[in-house]
Structures are given as structure tokens and as C-alpha cells.
Amino acid sequence: MRRSLHPWLLLTAGALGTVPAVASTTEAASPLSDVSVTIYRAANRDGASLDLDDLGGFALVTETRTISIPAGVSRLRFEGVADGIQPATAIITGLPSGLLEKNHDAKVLSPAELVTASIGKNVWLVRTNPKTGESNKVPGSIVSDADGVVFKSAAGLEALRCSGLPETFQFDSTLEGAARPTLSALIRSPKAITTTVRLSYLAQGFDWMASYVATVAPDGKTMDLGAWVTLANANATSFSDAHAQVVAGRLNRESEEVEPIDEGAQIVAQCWPRGSTSDAPETPNIVRASPLTPGWEMYLDRAFKRSAAPAQMAMTALEEVAVTGAKVQQEQLGDLKLYRVPDRTSVASRQIKQVRLLDRKDIPIDLFYRADLPADDEVDDQPLSKVLRTRNDKAHHLDLPLPSGQVATFYERAGVPLLVHEAPLRDITLNEEVEIEAGEAPDLRVTSKVEGRAVNGATVKKLPLIPGVHVRSREIDVTNRVEITNARNQPADVELRLTLDDDTQLVRADHTPFMHNGHQTFRLTVPAEGSATVRYQTVDARYSLTR
Amino acid sequence: MLHIDKRLLRLTLASLSLGPLWAASPVYAADQDLSVTIYADDLALVQDHRTIDLTGGKQRVEFENVSAKIRSETVSLASREPFSIVEQNFDYDLLTPAKLMEKAVGHEVTIVRTNPGTGGETREKAQVLATNGGVVLKIGDHIEVLRDDGLPARVIFDKVPDNLRAHPTLSVTVNSSKSGPAPVTLSYLTPGLGWRADYVALFDEGTSKIDVQGWVTLTNSSGTTYDNAKTLLVAGSPAQESVNDGSGRYIRRPPRPTLAKAGTETGSRERLGDYYLYPLTERTTIANLQTKQVSFLDVHGVPAEHGYEFVNEWLGTSNTPVSAKTVYQFSTSARSGLGDQLPAGILRFYMRDKRGDPQFIGESRIDHTPMGSVLSLATGDAFDVKVQSTVEKRTSLGLFHWRTDMKYVLTNALPKPVTVSLLQSGLWGDTSIKTESQKSTRRNADEAEWKVDLPANGTKTVTATFDTEF
């Protein structure tokens, strides 16, 4: 188990506007009484797995603790909040009425910050004599830190680390700075009180997804459906003993103004030009042009990937995947679905955790093969795709909201489930039709040929538009012949889904079409090791200008 | 006050240490009082009241700690004292080791060599001849390259050249007829300071009421800290004229409008022209790289309406049911609403879960909103309320004349009845509805609206036939 980094809270008493360094900083004896993490998924994630280095979701973190607040103005510092915090979303409740302001200081303590903060202030320059090892402390002040550090001592002006001697600064201990961006609240309390404070904020660097496994029975009549909730925390902050929830459904997020950030920097000790008499003259750099063939690029890519692999493995080794046994509990949250991890758990730093979402057995399914066809055009030979269709209701042993995610379809072979396909699933609510794509069937193939295309003479009309120009209106009849072949030793149920242009009508067919999900559809059974044919006619109204 | 002492200290320090180095020593203006007016569009007006020490005659006054992003052309210095401004400069020539050496060309510096064998030091005077690629020095009667042998050698300069500074500094040369301390006001515009509003709305499903808190969020990335400043926020963005050739910028389809009805009530807030002002009640320190939030609104128990909305594009057909949008509607009027005008920002909605903890349920951006308005905000998609629209049939009735049969299947998987506002857009105006399964209203020429009441766990189908010329 990794050491969990608990968020903590510091209370600084001091008057408004004074340098906090003169005020006493006390860590309030306030054990964290509660922490809750609600994870929201990325709006548009593509891909079946969560990448800890690129999590697009976010979380609402709420922490509760009891603190003592002195009378007067004091500053509450919340340290150890998640790195991905969006400071503008911070809500602090439970404080006495006088919350003056909330601050988020992005400025962090870094070597460069120490130098910048010391400009004009007294520092000591420490110089070590390389022979004697004696170090010499010279009092002085920093004059500038723009592209190199210039300091001033009694001797005059000098530049840092340009002499070839080991040189550094010692700074005044009153300089303050935080190790990480810090959230704080300035409060005024009329009297000393003890209160329960709750801090909530939204933070990036979290995500979750639903991972379904559909196992199709050998007879193809039923399937078992199981699912995991997989949640991930890419932040450096761990939340142990936390209430964990995930929320399903799409929320509206607005693009956020970027908050200032400071990543810290090292001291730049740049000097004057340092060329010497022994420098070789610079040779012009000639780059030979090389043909950009894809093969070459691929080779480079592979070579790069090979060399990057050990690092990748090292990263993976840092990730932790925790699997818990209990199932999440679902409840309604407005128009969204909230799933609660039943027991307190830890949402550790750089951890991926899995909790069971559902397990349903013997779900009746309609297993069929589908072809998508443009209604009045040709389709060259192509395989059909397999679809598992069921309904999210009691009769089909489901009747529960299915949050969007990825479905892996398995077939059993000699008692061992084998993966056949992976496909995305959308948010599906109660009593909705569920379709799971289960991959292509190379043994079932479809072709569509245009048998005839004719202008219907009876419908041709000529209308005068302007002198000399007419609009010609006519209807075009197209007859298509669709052939489906089945090389399997079992009959196959097939659905042909036609896509018609806005002005095209299906007028005649040798099978009965029905409207399903906005498409004219034919359903037929193709015999084992046999074929079937569907013929239909469409009419399209066309207009053209003629003289 | 403490910060004045600090400034005075700095003033004395500066004149003591750097004083003799200047040909005509400048006067550093002591910080006295800062007022910052921040506009909503990354623009601030800084009014810096300081005291300068006039010496009589021509002199240079330096203003340190002005914004690093100062728009120097907007600087103005005002005072009641009789002096005239000769010129003002904003110096960006920063003091760097390389610049220090460059400015020393032709001058003498001191070289301190450390003997690597004994550790002993020797000093000698050298004249800097050139700094091109390397430093060439003339020592006594010979010429050598600085640290060509790689041995330690310190270079000591005896003065900071004129016009080189640690920070970008504003300097003003003034001509005055009298001497003595004079209060002046330096004002300038600077980007890097901005504000917006952030709202927190907690919706109570049981009572259909919201509690709304408004926070002003200030950000400072101007490179400077404004100590103990009197702060005023202006809700509105003054036009900043810019040289723009007006060449066609790509314009996005406007997002869903949030203002359902513009208000006509006047609030009690202070105004400046047509802009509302939000003064902070206490002086505050706006540190560099800081995000600061100050409360300006806290209202409880405002009635809010929770509804659903679905917009179908012209000839829109979907393969699967599509979620309707969750919409919250409330008023900003004094009698039955928030009772305030709202500066532009993001409104975040929260709702309590079964355990009573507030959970985030979505957010929406709002524009500057007058009091008395009705806001209609979409927070996300409804998981359980969906619409599937289908073009059932499209028949050509003749030249440029079509009939379109639309079917909308609305489903509700919630255990309570809901009302969905179903909109068909793209009607352009020239379209008539021949038949429909329930009466529609025309919101505008382009959109027809059906208010569809869905029973708990129920379905309803709306059909309509449109007569169009496209």
C-alpha cells in the first residue's frame, strides 16, 4: 500500500494585510472526519481503457473536518488538495458568517522564486575556495534576476556563477512560499468557536467507465451480462477511507478560463559570452534530404517504441489496480444516475479501481446479422455484422439503467470464453432496446446490384421558369436486387437496413418492409449453406433546368 | 501602516546603496495607496497614489512595482502641485550579466583570480575591449581572453549602468518650480487582471427551489502583486478599439440561448454609465498568480422550474433514442427570484444525493443578466427522458413543394410524470403544419414547439405533417 497523502488544514492567525510570516502558524488538531469523491466521466472518450496519463473526466471532492477558529481575522489554509483542483469551484460551508475571501495561490516555492523574492533584500553569498575548502559568506543583495543573477556586495557588482568558483546564496528564513498551490480562506470570527467545516471542489485528473462482458450461450438464444465500474485517480493526492461515487449521464461543462499556474523554476545563472581562443570554428550543419517513405517512418516509429518500452513498463508498474468484491448501489440524482461504492474505500493516487456494477444471467437475445445498404445504389460483396438485440426490461432479466461504456462479447469454446468483439454502448435507460455489435461474420455476405434505372415517362413535366428556360421534373425508378449468401451450416436471421435519400420512396418489394429506428428494414432467414434474394423498387423525384 | 514603512525603507536603501552611482539620482516614488478597477475582459485600471520628493527643476521620478504588463501609452501622472512632465519612459532594458559586461566595454573592471594550487587571490584592473563571442580584456600592456584558461576569475563591476533595471520600470522626467513632497496619482491600464462571476446553485427537488451563491473570481497574472488595494469590479466590457481588418472570422453557431426573458427591473447596485459596479467592501491584496474569490450574492429558496427540452433539426432522423436536455428555469426578479442583476459567469448546479451530500449535476454559462429576467439553463442530458425522431415519409407534391411526415417517440423511464418541450427547428418561416397529433405553438418563424406531458414510465408519440417548399 502506498503512503496516503492526507489533505490537511492549517490555521494561521494574523491581521489582514500583514506578512503571515510574523503570525504564528498552527496546525489545527482536526482529524479529517469525512471525505467523499464523486467521479464524473469524460464526455467524449474514445478507447476502451483508461490511461492514467490522460484522464479526461473530473471529480467532486468533499472533505469534512472539525476546527477551532480564534476570534478576529485568521487564515485557513487547505493543503494537500487534489492537484487538478479548479479553484473557482471551491465551496466552503460551516464557517461563521465572516468569510472575507477565498484565495488560491499558484505561486510555489522554487529556487527561482527564492531569488526573485529576494531582489533588493539582504542575502549572503557563499563562495567556497576550491583549494582550501573554506567557505566565505559575503553579505550583499540581489540586484536583478533577469537572464542571469546580478548581485551587489561591498566590493561591487558581480554575476552569479560566472567566475568558475562554487557560489550560492543563503536566504533570509522569513521568505515564505508553499510547496504546492494552496487554497486558503480569510475569515473573521467575532468569537473563538469550534465548527465543522466542509470543503468541496471540482478537480481534474479523474475518470471512470463501465466495462461490460457479454457471454453468448452456445445456442445463441441467451447471454450473460456482467459489468465493472472502473474508476481512476491520476492525482498525486490519495483519498483514503473515502465515500466513493460515480455519476452516469452527460453533464454540461463550459470551457473554463485558465487559472494562473506556476510550475516553479531553477535559478538561471547565465553569464556573458564565454567563447575561448581554442574554440573550433563552427561548421555549417548540412542535413541530407531523405525520402519520406512510409516504411521508413514506420521503422522509426517501431525503433522509438522499442526504446520507450522499458519506461512505459516502469510507469505501468507504478499504477495500481484494485478490485473490490461488493457491488455498487444505484440511485437517482436529478436526471443522472449515481452509483455508490457501498463501503468506505480508498481512491489512492495513480490508482485504477474496479467495483462490480451488475451480473445478469440468461438474458434472452435476438441474434441476427445486419447489412446497411444505400437504397438506390450498388454495394460490392461485403460481410454482414452480427448484432445481439435485447430489451432492457424485466422479461429480459435486465430492467436497470446501463451507463455507457465498452462491451466485450465472448463466445464459449470448450468451457473457455473467447473474445470475439469489442464495441461501445450508449447510455440505455429502462425499457429501451439494447443492441450490442458482435463483429463481422465473414461467412455471411451481401451484394446489391441495380437491375434497372428508368425515367418514368408519365411523370415528366416541363414548366416555364423564365423565357427560354424550363424546369424539367421527372421521377426515376430504380430496381435493386440484393443477394445474401450463407456458408454456415445453420440458417441465419438477417436484417437489411436501407438508407433512403430525403426525396426517395420505397414503392415495391418482394418482402414486406417495416420501419425500424428510422430505416426501412427487411427481415428474412437465409437457409444453411444457401442464399436468399430481395428485390425492391425505389422512386426518386429529380429536377433539372433545360432550355 | 506597515507597507508604507516597507516602501520608505526601500527608498532609503535605494538611495544609500545606489545613490552615488547615478549621475542625476532619480527619486523613487513611495507607494501610498492603490485603487484597482477591474473590468470583465482582462483589463484593469490601476490608480496608484504616491508621494514624490520634488527637488525643484528637472528631475527623474521612478515608479517601481507597476504592472509588468502595463500599457505604457495609457499612463498619466496627475498632481495638484505645479510641475510639468518632460517625458515618460517605460524601460524594458533589463539588468543581466551579459548586458552588464556589454555596457562595461571601454571601462575598467576588477579581475580577482584564485590560484588553484594555493587558493590565494590576486587582484588586477582590466579594461574591457570587446564582448563579441568572448570577453577580450586589456590588462596592463597585454591583451587576454577572460577565463580562456578555464581557471576561476571573478569580474567585479563598480556600478550599475544607467537604464538597466531588475524589473520593467516606469520613469517620468518632470520639471517643477518648487521643492518638497508632492502627492501624485499615476494611472494606467493593464491586462493580466480580470474577473468573472462563479455561481453555486443548490437545487432542492422536493420543494423545487434553489439556493444561489455568487462569487466574484479575480485572477492576477500581471506579474505584480497589488498590496492592500481598494478594489472595484465593473460588470461590462468597455470597447477596446483595435486595429482589426475585419476580415471574416469564423463564427460558431451560437450556443443554446440562456436568457428566456430579458428583465426590466432596476437594482440597488451602483452603476457607472451602463455598467454595474461591484466594490469589494474591504481592501485586499491581489497577489501575483493568485485566484481570489469574494462573495457578492447569497439568496435562499428561489422557485425554480425543472423541465426537459429536445430540439430536432430539419429532417432529423435518429437511429436510437436521444436524451432530452435537462433545463432549469428561474427568475432574477426582486419579487420571485434572485433579486439582483447577474454579471456574466458560470452557474454550477448541485443537488443532494440520498445521503444528503450535495453532488454536482452540470453547469451553464450565463451572460450579463439584468434584474427581472428569466434564465433557462441546460445542465446536461436526461438519462431517462429520450426522444426518437423519424422522417416517416417525404412526398413530392410538385415543383418545389413537399410534404414531410414526422414522427417523434418520447419515452420517460422516470417513476413520475414529466413535461418535455419538443421543438422542431429549421422551419424557416414558409412552412405550415397541415396535421399534428397535438397543438403546437410557433415559438418563432423557425421553430414549432409541442409541450408533451409524459406519464410516469410512459411513452407518447407526436406526429406532424409539414408542407414545405424545400
The interface predicted TM-score of the complex, written ipTM, equals: 0.77
Q: In percent, how much of chain A has pLDDT > 90?
A: 32
Model confidence pTM above 0.90: no
**Residue A69 sits in the same domain as residue A124:** no
| Least confident window among A145-149, A262-266, B160-164 | A262-266
pLDDT over threshold 50, residue A309 = no
> What value does the mean pLDDT of chain A take?
80
Interface of B with A in 441-460 (CB under 8 A): 457
At position A340, the amino acid (one-letter code) is R
Nearest CB to B97; choose among A99, A270, A401:
A270
Neighbour count for residue B141 (Cβ, 10 Å)? 5
Question: In angstroms, what separates the C-alpha of B129 from chain A's closest C-alpha?
Answer: 13
Tell me, yes or no, whether A503 lies in a domain.
Answer: yes
Nearest CB to B157; choose among A131, A156, A256:
A156
Q: Where exactly are the structural domains of chain B?
A: 2-94+163-191, 97-156, 194-237+253-468
Tell me, yes or no, whether A196 lies in a domain.
Answer: yes
Distance CA B41, CA B234 (A): 10
Nearest CB to A130; choose among B116, B283, B383:
B116
Residues of A in contact with B355 (CB under 8 A): 243
**Residue A91 sits in the same domain as residue A147:** no
State the pLDDT at residue A5.
38
Nearest CB to B386; choose among A143, A256, A429:
A429
Residues of A in contact with B346 (CB under 8 A): 88, 254, 256
**Residue A154 sits in the same domain as residue A143:** yes
How many structural domains is chain A composed of? 3
Question: In angstroms, what separates the C-alpha of B421 from chain A's closest C-alpha?
Answer: 16
Contact of B381 with chain A, judged by CB distance below 8 Å, is answered with yes
CATH code assigned at A525: 2.60.40
Question: In angstroms, what separates the C-alpha of B458 from chain A's closest C-alpha?
Answer: 10
Tell me, yes or no, whether A392 lies in a domain.
Answer: no
State the pLDDT at residue A115.
84
**Residue A344 sits in the same domain as residue A245:** yes
Q: Which of A412-426, A468-482, B370-384 has the highest mean pLDDT?
A: B370-384
* CA dihedral angle for residue B145, residue B147, residue B153, residue B154, rounded to 10 degrees: 70
> What value does the mean pLDDT of chain B take?
83
Residues B63 and B172: beta-carbon distance below 8 Å: yes
Nearest CB to B166; choose among A119, A260, A270:
A119
Instruction: Tell if the CB–CB gap between B147 and A274 is shorter than 8 Å.
Output: yes
User: Count of alpha carbons within 13 Å of A252, Cβ hemisphere only?
Assistant: 26
Residues of B in contact with A276 (CB under 8 A): 134, 145, 147-148, 150
**Residue A118 sits in the same domain as residue A104:** no
Tell me, yes or no, whether A8 lies in a domain.
Answer: yes
For A53-63, the pLDDT digits (tens) are 888 889 999 98
Instruction: Tell if the CB–CB gap between A260 and B221 is shorter than 8 Å.
Output: yes
In chain A, whose CA is at the least distance from the CA of B295? A101
Residues of B in contact with A148 (CB under 8 A): 96-98
Contact of A515 with chain B, judged by CB distance below 8 Å, is answered with yes
* Better-predicted residue by pLDDT, B28 or B294: B294
State the pLDDT at residue A48.
63
Interface of A with B in 262-301 (CB under 8 A): 262, 270-279
**Residue A124 sits in the same domain as residue A184:** no
What the block records as the C-alpha cell of A458 is: 408519365
For A516-536, the pLDDT digits (tens) are 998 999 999 999 999 999 999
In chain A, whose CA is at the least distance from the CA of B229? A17
Nearest CB to A158; choose among B132, B154, B364:
B154
Contact of B221 with chain A, judged by CB distance below 8 Å, is answered with yes
Instruction: Tell if the CB–CB gap between A502 and B378 is shorter than 8 Å.
Output: no
Contact of A60 with chain B, judged by CB distance below 8 Å, is answered with yes
At position A289, the amino acid (one-letter code) is A
Contact of B358 with chain A, judged by CB distance below 8 Å, is answered with yes
**Residue A182 sits in the same domain as residue A91:** yes
For an interface test with B, which of A142, A336, A501 has the most B Cβ atoms less than 10 Å from its Cβ? A336
Nearest CB to B353; choose among A152, A331, A461:
A331
* Better-predicted residue by pLDDT, B275 or A21: B275
**Residue A246 sits in the same domain as residue A322:** yes
Question: In angstroms, what separates the C-alpha of B167 from chain A's closest C-alpha?
Answer: 8
Tell me, yes or no, whether A142 lies in a domain.
Answer: yes
Instruction: Tell if the CB–CB gap between A102 and B293 is shorter than 8 Å.
Output: yes
Tell me, yes or no, whether A374 lies in a domain.
Answer: yes
Interface of A with B in 341-400 (CB under 8 A): none
pLDDT over threshold 50, residue A15 = no
State the pLDDT at residue A18.
33
For an interface test with A, which of B204, B384, B459, B468 has the most A Cβ atoms less than 10 Å from its Cβ? B384
* Better-predicted residue by pLDDT, A257 or B151: B151
Please count the residue pairs, one from chain A and one from chain B, whose beta carbons lie less than 8 angstroms apart.
317
Contact of B305 with chain A, judged by CB distance below 8 Å, is answered with no
In chain A, whose CA is at the least distance from the CA of B11? A120
Nearest CB to B320; choose among A62, A426, A503:
A426
| Least confident window among A315-319, B411-415, B436-440 | A315-319
Which residues of A392-513 form beta strands (DSSP E)? 405-413, 416-425, 433-466, 469-486, 492-499, 504-509
**Residue A52 sits in the same domain as residue A66:** yes
Residues of B in contact with A436 (CB under 8 A): none
For residues B242-255, give the mean pLDDT.
42
In chain B, whose CA is at the least distance from the CA of A502? B394
How does residue A176 score in pLDDT terms, banded at 50, 70 and 90? low
**What's the 3-state SS for chain B?**
CHHHHHHHHHHHHHHHHCHHHCCCCCEECEEEEEEEEEECCCEEEEEEEEEEEEEEEEEEEEECCCCCCCEEEEEEEEECCCEEEEEEEEECCECCHHHHHHHCECCEEEEEEECCCCCCEEEEEEEEEECCCCCEEEECCEEEECCCCCCCEEEEECCCCCCCECCCEEEEEEEEEEEEEEEEEEEEEECCEEEEEEEEEEEECCCCEEEEEEEEEEEECCCCCEEEEEEEEEECCCCCCCCCCCCCCCCCCCCCCCEEECCCECCCCCEECCEEEEECCCCEEECCCEEEEEEEEEEEEEEEEEEEEEEECCCCCCCCCEEEEEEEEEECCCCCCCCCCECCEEEEEEEECCCCCEEEEEEEEECCECECCEEEEEEEEEEEEEEEEEEEEEEEEECCEEEEEEEEEEEECCCCCEEEEEEECCCCCCCEEEEECCCCEECCCCCEEEEEEECCCCEEEEEEEEEECC
**Residue A159 sits in the same domain as residue A27:** no
Question: In angstroms, what separates the C-alpha of B177 from chain A's closest C-alpha?
Answer: 32
Contact of A520 with chain B, judged by CB distance below 8 Å, is answered with no
Tell me, yes or no, whether A197 lies in a domain.
Answer: yes
Instruction: Tell if the CB–CB gap between A432 and B321 is shorter than 8 Å.
Output: yes
Q: In percent, how much of chain A has pLDDT > 70?
A: 81
Interface of B with A in 21-60 (CB under 8 A): none
For residues B273-298, give the mean pLDDT.
87
Contact of B168 with chain A, judged by CB distance below 8 Å, is answered with no
Distance CA B239, CA B237 (A): 6
How does residue A104 score in pLDDT terms, banded at 50, 70 and 90? confident
For A421-476, the pLDDT digits (tens) are 999 999 999 999 999 999 999 999 999 999 988 887 777 777 777 787 777 777 88
How does residue B244 score in pLDDT terms, banded at 50, 70 and 90? very low
For residues B202-206, give the mean pLDDT.
92
For residues B87-116, give the mean pLDDT.
85
Contact of A113 with chain B, judged by CB distance below 8 Å, is answered with no
Instruction: Tell if the CB–CB gap between A162 and B386 is shorter than 8 Å.
Output: no
Task: Note down the domain range covering A73.
Answer: 1-109+176-208+228-251+305-359
For an interface test with A, which of B38, B125, B293 has the most A Cβ atoms less than 10 Å from its Cβ? B293
Nearest CB to B384; choose among A19, A259, A335:
A335
Residues of B in contact with A271 (CB under 8 A): 97-98
| Least confident window among A132-136, A299-303, B378-382 | A299-303
For A310-344, the pLDDT digits (tens) are 333 333 334 456 666 678 899 999 999 999 988 88
**Residue A61 sits in the same domain as residue A192:** yes
Q: Which of A142-151, A207-216, B243-252 has the highest mean pLDDT?
A: A207-216
For residues A277-304, give the mean pLDDT.
41
For residues B192-208, give the mean pLDDT.
92
Residues of B in contact with A256 (CB under 8 A): 346
State the pLDDT at residue A321.
60
pLDDT over threshold 60, residue A50 = yes
Tell me, yes or no, whether A237 lies in a domain.
Answer: yes
Question: In angstroms, what separates the C-alpha of A22 from chain B's closest C-alpha?
Answer: 12
Tell me A80's DSSP state: S
Q: Which residues contact B73 (CB under 8 A, 6 or more apart)?
A: none
**Residue A41 sits in the same domain as residue A115:** no
For residues B327-349, give the mean pLDDT.
91
Question: In angstroms, what separates the C-alpha of B345 from chain A's closest C-alpha?
Answer: 10
Q: Which residues contact B147 (CB under 8 A, 6 or more apart)?
A: A164, A274, A276, B135, B153
